Every structure is written in C-alpha cells, then in structure tokens.
Amino acid sequence: MTLPLTAPQKRSLLLAVTIIGATPSSPSQNSIPIPSADIFIEPEVIDNNTQPRRANAALVVLARNSDIDGVIQSMEQVESKFNRKFKYPWVLLNEVEFSAEFKKRISVLTDAPVSFGVIPHDHWFQPDWIDEERAKEGRKSLVRQNIIYGGQFDYLYRNMCRFNSGYFFRHELLLPYKWYWRVEPDVRYFCDVDYDPFLFMEDNNKIYGFTISMPDWEQTLPTLWSSVREFIAENPQYLHPDNSMDFLSDNSGETYNLCHFWSNFEIADMDFWRSEAYMKYFEFLDEKGGFYYEPVQVGQFTKMMTPMRYVLLVLGIIVGLHYILSFTHDEYGKATSVSRITDFISGSGSPHRETIPDQYYKPPDPVYTLDRKANATFVMLVRNSDLSGIMSSMKQLEDRFNRKFNYPYVLLNDEPFTEEFKKYISALTHAEVEFGLIPKEHWVQPPWIDEEKASAARDSMVNQNVIYGGSVTYRNMCRFNSGFFYRQELLQKYRYYWRVEPDVKFFCDIDYDPFLLMQDQQKVYGFTISLFEYPETIPTLWQHVRGFIKENPGLIPVDNAMAFLSDDGGESYNRCHFWSNFEIADMDFWRSEGYSKFFDYLDEKGGFYYERWGDAPVHSIGAALFARKDQLYFFDDIGYRHEPSNIVPREICTRNPNVGVTQVKISTMSGIRV
C-alpha cells in the first residue's frame, strides 16, 4: 500500500532499521524526530520446546592444516546435502594446533557450532614400549611388497590407525556426545540426505552404520586373526550369540576372509566403543604391537560383539560411489557387491537394507520452477585479504537464496585476484563466478584533484575523528561505487545487480526472486536499511545537488522522492540515505542520461576527495531525484545485518535458536512501496 507523507513523518522513513550499537561519532539520536506508532520494537523469545528433536551427535573430522582444501570440499558437501537442514555440530581434531587461517576458513562453512581440538601426545604417537627396530623391519618388508602406507615414513598412518581404533572417542571434545559421523577430506556425497541418520540409529538401537565393505590387504595383518582368536578364547563372555562372525569368516572363525567395513565413512555409537568389552579388546590388540609391527586397523570386533539387528547399511547415501566403482573396477565390484555382503551376513534382521521411516525425514524444501530468470548478478567489491569475510557472506547467501535460484557472481578488485582466492570462492557455489580487475582510471584519485587541498581535508577529518576521514582508498571506493562499477566490462551484459559485502549476515530464507520482482514491477532501486550520513563528510554536497537541479530541471520527474531527502522542499538536506552496502537495483538506471550527468557533475566538484562523499548518499539522492518514488522498493522481509545495524522482518526468522529475536514493524511512508 502507499500512504501520503505527513509532517511528523518526513524523516521517519529512515527508521526502516533498528540501529544497533551506534558509534560515538554517529548523529545523536536525540536529534531524530521519532514518529508516533510508525516504528516499535517487540522482543520475542523463541520457545526452545518447539525445536525439532535431535540426537546427541557430532560430525567428526581428523585432519591436518595441510588438508584445508579437502576438508572444505567435504564439509561443503555435507552441509549442502545434509547439515544445512539439521545443524549438527562439528569437531575437528589434529595432532598439532590448527592454524588461525584453518579455523577461520572452516568456521564460515557452517552455521552449526565448530570445535577444534588437539590430540593428546599419548593418544597419537608411537608408544615408548614399541620395539622400533622390529617396527622398522616391518615397514621395510611392506615396502618391498609395494603395500600402500607400508613405508619408512608412513608411521604417521599407523598413529592414525591406532588413534581411530581406540582413542578418538576418548577426546575431551567428544566426551559430551554419544553419536558421531566420521567425515574425511576429499570425499563426495552424491545425494541429498533428507532424514536424520543419528535419530534413526538412536530410535532403532543401532550402534554401527556403514556404506562400503571390501577385503583388506592380507599382507598388512598376518597375525591379526590369531590375536582375535586368542582374545575370544580368553573372553568368550563378551561375544553376542547373534553376532556377525559369518561376515568375517567362511569357516566359523578358523580363518579371516579379510572382509571389513570401510571406516572412512561410519555413523556409530561412541558408547559402544567406550564399553568394557570393546575397550578390553582394543587394549588386548594394542599390547600385541600390531599397529606398528603390522599396519592393522581394528574394526573386526564390531561384527563379533554386535547382534545382527544392530548393524545398518546406510545404502542410499553414497550408493552412486558404489555403482561407479563397481562399473570401473571389476575386482572392487566383486568384493563390495551387496549380494556378497548379504552372503556373508546371516541371522535375524539382515543389515543390508532397511526402510527409513518418514518420521526421520525433514519436510521437503519447496519445489522451485525456474521457468525464467532476470538478467541479473551479484556484485562484490573485495580484496584478496577479504577472503574469509566474503566466503562467510557467500555461504549465507547461497544457503538462504542462491542455491535455489543460481544467479551468477561478479567479483571486482583493484588488484588481480590470487589463484587461491579464485579457487576458494568458486568452490562455494554451483553458479557462474567471474573475477574482474578494475581499470586504474576507474579507481585511483584523478590527476586533476588538487592533492594539497585533498590532503588538508583528510587531516582535518582525522582531527575530527571522522570514520575513514584519513583514507584515500575509502574515497576511491566511494567514487567507484558511485559512478564506475556498472561500467565494468564484466557487468555490461547484466541489467540488475545485488550488492554483497564481506562479513554481512542474512537471517532469513529468501524464497522468492527479488530480481524478477524488480523487473516485473518496474522498480529501479531496492534497499533494506536507511540512516543518517555524517554531516562532517558532506558539507557542500547538497549545494551542488541544488546547483545540478537548477541547471537540469527537465531530468527530475514530478513524482520523485525529494520528501525523503529534505524536510523543507529541497532547501536543505536532512542527511537521510539508503545504506548502500545492501542494494538491489537496475544498472540501466545508473547508466541513464539523468544519473550519468548527475554523477559527472558531482565528480567535477571534487567532493569525493576534498570532502568524503559516500556512495550511499550519492546513490540515495540519485535514486530519490531521478526515479519516481513508486520505483523505489523497501525489502522489509530480508533479514540483514551489516555492522553495526540490522533489520529483522515482520515475520520472525531465526538468528540463533537459543536467544531472543528482535522484531521490527514498520509502516509505509513517503510513498515508497513495500
């Protein structure tokens, strides 16, 4: 709906936002006329009892700092295919401290909690009681046989096998959890996982879930089975009568047929590993030294201790991998075929296939029929040093909107993007991503600017504690965003853009296409937040705006939004502006005769450098003067935060399910459509 502007409401359009934590140099809020009933804040606490039921579970990754690329790839897939819906926490473990860069780049990949842990020395390294000469001879023997990870320097692999067999579930970060899903670097998930496997395991008394089974290398475990048989003979009380010995042995336990579940994927109960029976079993094997004298990994005991009904083959999660390998590797196909697994496993409740009940599935996402798209793109002005911040913004934007709509990205920089930057950004989306270098003449301070005058202005602003007052680079950016970004070669083919900055937050899912809304309703400028500009940064801006209007009255439409900019018919500027770090707009509007002349006029005055004109007031004044007010659009349903301000829509959307959420209700003012 559209309401006329009343006298007390003239400035109230800027209150399309809750200002959080205004800085000391912000305009005093006491000077802002607050309209009655136009904006009010209602605290609302989300009832935790309405949250969906969850298992006490975590996703566990054992990785090194050098595994960063592989971990990112795996986590992105798990998040996309499963955890975006379920938000289970992540625990990453390393034998050394994770680097700050590793933590930063991993943490932005998920909205779930992420913990980083160091493995205790005695849980990781080769024990002192191991005979190193004997272990070294064992490694040499395996090298001669061309056994994978058998070599002189592959003792780290043995450390890992021993840790995964008997120590990971004892780590202090995992002690609070019962269930885990093991995730390794550089794995692939081909299908969406739309149900909760942790709850399925919990409700159906499962303790171990797997996807792939294959034979082990016989040369790596020559004495393992004899040690297993010895343990069984000494501890028969620990074996379940309905165990899976037939999976392990073709002759009732006399010999081992080498079958095992491939443990790089497992969803299991850590309380099972912590049980008396398994702990005694692991300690018995550990004392034999086979982890170092032979590269063995404990997994067989699971099958002997566990009743048949406790073992689950989660067939649907990576069935694509099974089929691909079966088609391309004959021996692998023979070893891992479902029929072979079921041949080995007998007894009640065969684990090779179980139907997942509907109760464990999340409701399906809406089906989007993308029969048409706008000619639009996301635009990001960033530097290589902004990598973590822009990854965070892109991850949220993809999760909240673009994974459904698949609009392209254009990233611009005044220096060449590094290959590392390009690789990490491109991995965040399935949409097209292009990287552009800004021409020098579009970015740097023009040669006709009087540097002595500009330098004096900067010094004066520094003395006044004006934010970015001493920065030339900030001024370059404001001038570029005001009049040059839409002229970039990579953007010439697009009409609409959505500006995205590093380290912003999107609180709510965006289930419609704002680009098509702008196109179909003939809008030219969309915003979320409006506030005051610092008066010290624009002392002469309005007098030059008035000069342009006087010289070019034919470019100003009658039904413009001057009332948003001025409380006295254009005599003075009330400093209201749309915060341009979020804007969805029509670049053809910026390319129009009216705005182009307006920008060139202002640019010639030098105010971007002699003062500190920002792109936000320049864009806002341009949109308010050269567009009809019904062509401006307030996106009050997009939950958004750019420090220090945010907007939360009329309908509550979750920022943190455990804290209250502030809801802002705003009326329509000044003829701008919502």
Distance CA 447, CA 655 (A): 47
- Biggest CA-to-CA distance, the chain: 101
The DSSP result for 501-563, as a single string, is -TT-EE-S---S-HHHHHHHTT--EEES-EEEPPGGG-TTHHHHHHHHHHH-GGGS-TT--HH
Q: At 209, is the secondary structure helix, strand, or coil?
A: strand
Distance CA 626, CA 556 (A): 5
Instruction: Return the half-sphere exposure (C-beta side, CA atoms, 13 A cut-off) of residue 139.
Output: 17
Q: In the annotation, is 583 catalytic? A: yes
Q: At 225, is the secondary structure helix, strand, or coil?
A: helix
Q: Which of 69, 120, 75, 125 is nearest to 97 (CA)?
A: 120
Q: How far apart are the first and last CA of the chain?
A: 7
155-166 and 276-288 are packed helices; what angle lies between their axes, rounded to 10 degrees? 160
The DSSP result for 79-138, as a single string, is IIIIIHHH---EEEEESSPPPHHHHHHHHTT-SS-EEEEEPPHHHHSPPTTS-HHHHHHH
Element (H, E) at 637: none
Distance CA 93, CA 65 (A): 10
Distance CA 651, CA 507 (A): 11
Distance CA 207, CA 201 (A): 7
Residues 6+ apart with CB under 8 A from 198: 54, 55, 57, 88, 179, 181, 267
- Left (φ > 0), alpha (ψ -120 to 50) or beta: where does 313 sit? beta
Distance CA 316, CA 502 (A): 37
Q: Which of 190, 170, 207 is nearest to 60 (CA)?
A: 170
Measured on CA atoms in the order 287, 293, 298, 301, is the torsion positive or negative?
Answer: negative
Alpha-carbon distance values, 436 to 382, 411, 542 (Å): 10, 6, 34
Element (H, E) at 566: none
Residue 162: phi, psi to the nearest 5? -65, -40
Give the rounded distance of the alpha carbon of 195 from its chain centre. 21
Place of tokens 């804007």: 583
Measured CA angle at 88 (ends 87, 92), to 5 deg: 125
Distance CA 616, CA 416 (A): 26
Element (H, E) at 218: none
Catalytic option among 266, 533, 583, 611: 583
| Active site positions, annotated | 583
